[in-house]
Chain A
Amino acid sequence: MRLSNQSLQQYRRLWWFASRGLAAAALVLLITAILTAPSGLQNLFNGLAVGSVYAIFALGYTLIFSILRIINFTHGAIFTLGAYFTYFLTGASVGFNGLLANQRLPFGLPFPIAMIGGGLLAGLCGILIERVAFRPLRNKGADPLLTLVSSLGVAVAIVNVIQLLVGAEIYSYPRNPFGEMPAALNLGTFGGLSQRPVVIRTIQVIIFAVSMATVVLLTYFVNGTKIGKALRAVAEDATTSSLLGINTNFLISLTFFISGLIGGIAGTLVGLSVNVSGPYFGINFGLKGLAVIVLGGLGDIPGAVVGGLVIGVAEAFVPSEHVAYKEAIAFAVLFLVLLLRPQGLLGRAAVQKV
């Protein structure tokens, strides 16, 4: 059933007000929940901390989608690789399982340098993966859906190579990697706004700060630099931009490098927060990462951060008696948002061409 024109327009206007109203109501509800619940502010900060982990994972993911319009399933594996690279660059030794058992590098780098090194190596892996799994299919003009499968195959291979080489055990980084720092910060009661003092782990503050800095840098890079403009031209139409003399392959390699770099550093930071739990460490974020980037609007860089924080905060506010349903929150939110706003929270609606 469809409505007549006039009522359609009235309906649209009504919908505009209703959706804004709903959003405002949700915001008011959230603020009241934060201020009235005994641990409301604590929940908010915990949510932002978890959300920034989702966001930092999703940033590299969404960067590739924004340029190539494909979902890169290897991103979780690159995230994992980054965490392992950093671990070995600090000079720590491999565990007791795997082909490389008890091996170690002949040198050890200070942690911050190892982290950057791990990110760079992960970026190089990104370039390699693009050459192996994406470029051949792109040159053939194959269905974008197929890159999903080929990147899945590469992800399976990487995870199992990791397992074969270094085993499936948990790896943890040295303590106080950034020098002497308190493990947690006591933020006080915010002048009585919170009944209890709000405490937050230092590493979570770092992750939050890094994801914010990354989104600012990435947004500037894509929108403010010449290379970024060329990238957007490639995103718009790869064939035309290569005809215009833009080196498409180089730019796509660069995108994969940056995505891998961000992913590798993110993997290290998250590994600092929760330990590197084995070869599936990053893959486990893959699904929620998808929810995050769709929620924010596929390919929208600030959207990935908004999506990550929204899901993190939503999860943190699940009442403790329903805590078992926390894992479903991201997807329940995603389902509802897709039904109401198919283009995501920050995405723009696409006009269908006839």
Chain B
Amino acid sequence: MEGFLSTYGSAIVQMALAGVLALSLYLPLMAGQLSLASPGFYAVGGYVAALLSTRVFTGFPNGSYPILLIALEMVVAGGVSALFALIIGIPSLRLRGVYLALATIAFVEVLRVFALNQPWLGGAVGIYNIPQPFFSATRVEYLLLALPLLLVSTLFVARLERSRIGRAFVALREDELAASAMGIRPTYYKVLAFTIGAVLAGMTGALNAHILNTWNPRQGTFDLAILILAYVLVGGSRTFLGPVIGGAFLVALPEIILREVADAPGLHPAIATFLRDGRLILFGVLIAVSVFFFPYGLVTPNLFKRRRKTNVPRLEAAKAAPKVSRG
């Protein structure tokens, strides 16, 4: 177990963070908005944490930076990201489909070039020597922060999905015009979904700035946006579990699964070499293949519904529903 953690601990941390990033894209998508702005908020969050921990909360010897301060940075990063989301979201969320995706990508790029040119953000080098709360070289301990972040975000989105606000999001996704005929304010709920997503991305960035020990303009890019979109679509975009599973799976695929397979005993050396050197080829092919075989993603809402139906006959389930929720 200890060996496993020291080998794969940091990969597992990144799997958890990928899950949260995927949720940050899933939220606007839940309200029918294809936004690719997550890397932008992720970058903003990272810079907030990097600035706070290297300029403001100084004086802690390396390895003893208080975890509570990291949590505080995450909260501040979430807040700043939310502010950015409001400024960007209100004008751009009247765009539809690809146009919104492009406008949000434009935001990510402008932000990246801005960071590249600001001396106070470290320019191309970025901000380095971000203080560490742990001594270990493997940084497995970051699981103590990354897993709770993933858990809390997942629970939050799961609960939201079943609440009044979540239903308003889904109504907008299914049919914006019909939703507005039901008295749902489209702009308000779109901006809300977008902003919650931004908060999650900002908090992830803040945590990852500590994990990576450095933060620079390469952290929030178009490539990351597309990768996050792949997390969501490969995992499944119709239930909160999809993005979480998709993010974890796509990070694990090249880093853990294909490596493990390549190390399997008895494998022909040529195949093992290919698995090691060509793992990104396989990664690309598997993405394409998974989309074909799982067009609704690996996790679909029906997975749960079918089980529910086998437990309670449908007719009774419908009639019993109001009583069940009282308990």
Contact flag (A, B; Cβ within 8 A): yes
Shortest Cβ distance from B90 into chain A, in angstroms? 11
Question: Which residues of B are found within 8 Å of A73, using beta-carbon distances?
Answer: 226
Query: Is the CB of A331 closer than 8 A to any CB of chain B?
Result: yes
- For B116, the chain A residues whose CB sits under 8 A away are 324, 327
Asked if B34 is at the interface (CB within 8 A of a chain A CB), the reply is: yes
**B110 and A342 contacting across the interface, CB-CB below 8 Å:** no
CB <8 Å contact, B105 and A331 = yes
Alpha-carbon gap, A330 to B116, bound state (A)? 16
Contact A153 B110 (CB under 8 A): no
B251 CB, nearest partner CB in chain A, Å: 14
* Contact of A332 with B110 in the complex, beta carbons under 8 Å: yes
The reply on B92 being an interface residue by CB < 8 A is yes
Is B103 a contact of A338 with CB atoms below 8 Å?
Answer: yes
Interface residue from B109, B278, B295 paired with A160 (Cβ < 8 Å): B278
The SS class assigned to the A binding surface is helix
A274 at the interface (CB under 8 A from B): no
Bound CA span A287–B106, Å: 9
Tell whether, in the assembled complex, residue B291 and residue A153 are in contact, meaning their CB atoms are under 8 Å apart. Answer: yes
The contact string, 1 if C-beta is below 8 Å from chain A, for chain B 229-257, is 11001100000000000000000000000
Check B65 for interface membership: any CB of A closer than 8 A: no
Interface hits, A122-146 → B, CB 8 Å: 132-133, 136-137, 140, 142-143, 145-146
Contact B284 A338 (CB under 8 A): no
By a CB distance below 8 angstroms, the chain A residues around B102 are 290-291, 294, 334, 338
CB distance from A283 to the nearest CB of B (A): 9
Beyond A150-B287, A153-B284, whether A164 also contacts B110 by CB under 8 A is no
C-alpha gap A291/B285 in the complex (Å): 27
- Our pick among B177, B222, B291 for the contact of A150 (Cβ within 8 Å) is B291
Q: Does B67 contact A (CB under 8 A)?
A: no
Indicate if the CB atoms of A146 and B284 lie closer than 8 Å: no
For A159, the chain B residues whose CB sits under 8 A away are 280, 284
Is B128's CB within 8 Å of the partner chain A? Answer: no
A287 and B295 form a contact (CB under 8 A): no
**Minimum CB distance partner of A326 in chain B:** B113
* A157→B288 contact, CB < 8 A: yes
Q: Mark A154-165, 1 if CB is under 8 A from B, else 0.
A: 111111110010
CB pair B288–A354 under 8 Å, yes or no, is no
Interface: B7 (CB within 8 A): no
Select B277's contact among A132, A164, A339, beta carbons within 8 Å.
A164
Query: Which of the four size classes fits the interface of chain A?
Result: 35 or more
A8 within 8 A of B: no
Query: Would A335 and B103 count as touching, CB distance under 8 A?
Result: yes
Partner of A153, one of B105, B222, B285: B285
A152 touches B91 (CB 8 A): no
Q: Are B288 and A153 in contact (CB under 8 A)?
A: yes
CB distance from A189 to the nearest CB of B (A): 34
| B280 A156 Cβ-Cβ under 8 A | yes
* B288 & A335 in contact (Cβ 8 Å cutoff): no
A342–B292 alpha-carbon span in the complex (Å): 32
Q: Measured between alpha carbons, how far is A257 from B232 in the docked complex, in Å?
A: 31
Q: Which residues of chain A are within 8 angstroms of B288 by Cβ–Cβ distance?
A: 132-133, 149-151, 153-154, 157
Complex Cα gap A158–B288 (Å): 12
In angstroms, how far is the closest chain A Cβ from the Cβ of B277? 6
A146-B295, A338-B102 are known contacts. Are A325 and B113 too (CB-CB below 8 A)? yes
The chain A residue with its CB closest to the CB of B282 is: A157
Interchain CA distance A73-B289 in the complex, whole Å? 16
- Please determine whether A335 and B107 come into contact, CB atoms closer than 8 angstroms: yes
| CB neighbours of B92 from chain A (8 A) | 335, 338-339
A25 CB to closest chain B CB (Å) equals: 22
Mark interface residues in A191-205 (1 if CB within 8 Å of B CB, else 0).
Answer: 000000000000000
Bound complex: CA of A152 vs CA of B117, how far in Å?
Answer: 30
A340 CA / B234 CA spacing, docked (Å): 34
Contact B106 A335 (CB under 8 A): yes
Distance between B40 CB and nearest chain A CB, rounded to angstroms: 11
B109 with A148: CB separation less than 8 A = no
1/0 per residue, CB under 8 A from A, across B278-314: the answer is 1011111111110110010000000000000000000
Please give me the residue from chain B that is nearest to A129 by CB atom. B288
**Shortest Cβ gap from B130 to chain A (Å):** 24
Q: A152-B284, A153-B291, A156-B283 are known contacts; what are 8 more A-B pairs with Cβ within 8 Å?
A: A71-B98, A146-B233, A149-B230, A153-B287, A294-B102, A330-B109, A338-B95, A338-B103
B contacts, CB < 8 Å to A:
34, 91-92, 94-96, 98-99, 102-103, 105-107, 109-110, 112-114, 116-117, 177, 222, 226, 229-230, 233-234, 277-278, 280-289, 291-292, 295
- 7 tightest Cβ-Cβ pairs between the two chains A and B: A153-B287, A157-B284, A156-B284, A153-B288, A328-B113, A331-B106, A160-B280
Interface CB pairs A-B, < 8 A, 11:
A140-B295, A146-B233, A156-B280, A156-B287, A287-B109, A294-B98, A324-B113, A325-B114, A327-B113, A331-B110, A335-B103
A contacts, CB < 8 Å to B: 71, 73, 132-133, 136-137, 140, 142-143, 145-146, 148-161, 164, 287, 290-291, 294, 298, 324-325, 327-328, 330-332, 334-335, 338-339, 342, 354
